[in-house]
Amino acid sequence: MSENQKSKVKQSHRYFIEVMYKGTNYAGFQVQKNANTVQAEVEKALKIFYKQEFELTGSSRTDAGVHALQNYFHFDVADSFEYHKDHIYNLNSILPADIVIKSLKKVSDDAHCRFDAMRREYSYFIYRKKDPFIADRAYYYPYKLDMDLLQEAASILKEYKDFTTFSKKNTQVNNFLCNIEESKWTVHKDTVEYTVAANRFLRGMVRALVATMLKVGTGKTSIKEFREIIESKECKRADFSAPAGGLFLKRVVYKD
């Protein structure tokens, strides 16, 4: 490597941006042509405040209408980039009210917000009494549910690795293997919450798991049939009807 090349390498630094957002008004997390996305809004705010272009790399893609309590981007900047913790206030003043930057941290130059993530945690919320104040943040499902059957179905998922059944067809992944570490249903006062954590998730996977398990909880699908659906590796046997508004990316976990 020439001295000039070494100099260029030294001039580049990497930052992680931690964000939180309500996804109702967005066509997803990652930038898309002719669509309003979370990434597009964050890049716009950075450009306005720092007066330079930023190219963000996202950690965990979320679909249109899905929310996040924690998600990440990373970007590279030159030595001349000046950051102060007070800048978060300025950036949030530029951003729409439904997107918040929680932190901006310098990391090692080879850190990657997507590939370095060890665990991702999602929650899906269901409400069973009509409530206009949570309609865009939970799924209205006023049907009788057998919580024991739901819990059994959730536990069964931890026995499997191949989740081809619960992935939408239009995906570019090399495999459909996921290590599910946590899978459970919890009854709260006004809502029912499904929590799932894994090293990775497939496109549409959490919503498909929820909708398919709800059929178990209402008695339309037996536990035996649920296992057969998982093992079939045929996405046409899963139910993908759970709406986006009930889904939250809660946490992305890194080693450091």
pLDDT in tens, the chain (256 residues): 444 444 444 568 999 999 999 999 999 898 887 789 999 999 999 999 999 999 999 998 899 999 999 999 999 998 778 888 899 999 999 999 999 999 999 999 999 999 999 999 999 999 999 999 999 999 999 999 999 999 999 999 999 999 999 998 877 788 999 999 999 999 998 899 999 999 999 999 999 999 999 999 999 999 999 999 999 999 999 999 999 999 999 999 998 7
Are 214 and 242 in contact, with CB atoms under 8 Å apart? yes
Q: What share of the chain is helix, strand, coil (3-state, %, to 5)?
A: 30, 25, 45
Distances (CA, A) of 89 to 5, 53, 85, 141: 36, 20, 8, 39
Distance CA 197, CA 27 (A): 24
Has 116 been annotated as catalytic? Answer: no
Distance CA 46, CA 15 (A): 13
Q: Which residues are 117's β-sheet partners?
A: 254
> Regarding beta strands 57-58 and 99-107, do their DSSP bridges make them parallel or antiparallel, or are they unpaired?
unpaired
The pLDDT value recorded for residue 82 is 86
Distances (CA, A) of 53 to 76, 93, 94, 150: 11, 19, 16, 48
Residue 69 phi, psi dihedral angles, 5° rounding: -90, -20
Distances (CA, A) of 11 to 14, 43, 69, 105, 208: 10, 21, 32, 17, 45
Asked whether the whole model's pTM tops 0.85, one would answer yes
Helix (H) or strand (E) holding 185: strand 180-187
Q: Which residues are 198's β-sheet partners?
A: 120, 180
Distance CA 127, CA 188 (A): 10
Are 207 and 214 in contact, with CB atoms under 8 Å apart? no
The pLDDT value recorded for residue 171 is 75
If DSSP codes are grouped into helix, strand and coil, which group holds residue 105? Answer: strand
Of the residues 63, 109, 110, 239, only one is catalytic, namely 63
The pLDDT value recorded for residue 33 is 79
The pLDDT value recorded for residue 116 is 95
**Structural domains of the chain in order of their starting residue, each with its CATH number:** 3-107 (3.30.70.580), 118-254 (3.30.70.660)
R_g (Cα) of the chain, nearest Å = 20
Provide the residue type at 99 as one letter: I
For tokens 């001349």, the residue is 80
